[in-house]
Structures are given as structure tokens and as C-alpha cells.
């Protein structure tokens, strides 16, 4: 199936955030991506989704990222006849707790936060270069929190607000 190509500002922002995260070497390593740089990016994109989601629907291959729109998109006039798009998207990152940390909550959370901090850190470095989505901030909304997806299967989740564009 061919991916739909976004034509509007908000759809493009979602896809551009997906592309930015797919280039994160931390995210690529976490999903076990291998091969050429293009193959690693393609493998990472298999774990990145543009969707609405609830934990009960968690059938995505972990770790994964989920990019969710909210109602705070902006398109103000910044000059005569000039508009600048911007707004917020939620990035949800979820990762299974490794077996060695199942009974060690402190290290399990630190393991997960190393993943989150690495992904966001990579995105900050990439995003400061020309040609990438202009991200103003990454702000934690909720988490990190541990939850049981099915009996005995625990994951960590964090929700991050990503403010993008030339307006905030």
C-alpha cells in the first residue's frame, strides 16, 4: 500500500516529525534497525505511527512512537498577507521493560528515560539543521509511567508535547 502524501501544513508537520524521529540513531538502535542509512530509517518508520490510540489497542511492535494531533494548531498572520503555521502535536513513546529490570523499578525507569532522552536529544541536534521540522520545544505532558498491557507484560510510556513552527 502506498502512503498518502500530506498536502496541508498540519499533515506535513506530522510526517516531518515522523521523519525526524526515524533519523534518530537512538530510536534506530532501539528498534534493531540495520543496513544502510536508508534501510535504518525505513525500519525505524515501521515503528512510528500517525494515529489516535489507547493503551488497550497496543498492538504496535515495541518500542514505538505515536504522533497524535490535538486542537492547538495556529496559523496567525505575521505580516501583510503572510501567515505562519505552527502548533502542537503529542509524541507518545512506549517501550517494553527489559527482562533484567522487571523487578527493579528504578533501573527500569532509568533505562526507559535513556531511550526517551536519546531520541529527543537526537531530534534536537537534527532539528537545528536546515531542512528539518522547526521544533520549538519538547514538554512532558505525562509520565514516565509503567503500565501492564497484558498480565505480566509491562511497558513504560511517556507523552511529550512537541511545539512546532514559527509561532508558539
Query: Each residue's pLDDT tens digit in the chain (168 positions)?
Result: 577 777 777 788 889 999 999 999 999 999 999 999 999 999 999 999 887 655 555 567 788 899 988 766 665 555 666 666 778 899 999 999 998 998 898 999 999 999 999 999 999 999 999 889 989 999 999 999 998 888 888 899 999 999 988 655
- pLDDT for res 159: 95
d(CA 112, CA 98): 9
- pLDDT for res 101: 92
DSSP string, 30-86: HTT--SSHHHHHHHHHTTEEES---GGG--SPSSEEEEEE-S--B--EEETTEE--E
- Alpha-carbon distances of 70 from 52, 91, 93, rounded to whole Å: 10, 11, 16
Are the C-beta atoms of 57 and 70 separated by less than 8 Å? no
Domain ranges (residues) in the chain:
9-165
Helices 105-127 and 9-22 cross at an angle (nearest 10°) of 120
Burial class (CB in 10 A: 0-12, 13-18, 19+), 49: middle
Are the C-beta atoms of 62 and 94 separated by less than 8 Å? yes
- pLDDT for res 20: 96
- pLDDT for res 78: 59
d(CA 81, CA 112): 46
Amino acid at each position: 500500500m502506498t502512503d498518502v502524501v500530506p498536502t496541508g501544513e498540519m499533515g506535513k508537520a506530522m510526517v516531518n516529525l515522523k521523519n525526524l524521529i526515524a533519523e534518530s540513531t537512538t530510536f534506530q538502535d532501539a528498534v534493531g534497525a540495520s543496513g544502510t542509512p536508508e534501510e535504518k530509517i525505513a525500519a525505524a518508520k515501521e515503528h512510528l505511527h500517525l494515529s489516535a490510540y489507547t493503551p488497550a489497542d497496543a498492538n504496535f511492535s515495541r518500542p514505538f512512537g505515536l504522533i497524535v494531533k490535538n486542537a492547538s494548531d495556529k496559523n496567525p498572520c505575521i505580516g501583510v498577507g503572510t501567515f505562519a503555521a505552527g502548533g502542537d502535536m503529542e509524541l507518545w513513546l512506549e517501550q517494553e521493560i527489559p527482562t533484567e529490570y522487571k523487578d527493579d523499578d528504578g533501573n527500569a525507569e532509568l533505562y526507559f528515560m535513556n531511550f526517551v532522552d536519546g531520541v529527543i536529544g537526537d531530534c534536537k541536534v537534527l532539528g537545528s539543521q536546515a531542512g528539518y521540522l522547526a521544533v520549538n520545544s519538547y514538554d512532558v505532558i505525562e509520565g514516565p509511567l509503567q503500565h501492564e498491557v497484558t498480565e505480566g507484560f509491562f511497558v513504560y510510556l511517556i507523552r511529550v508535547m512537541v511545539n512546532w513552527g514559527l509561532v508558539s
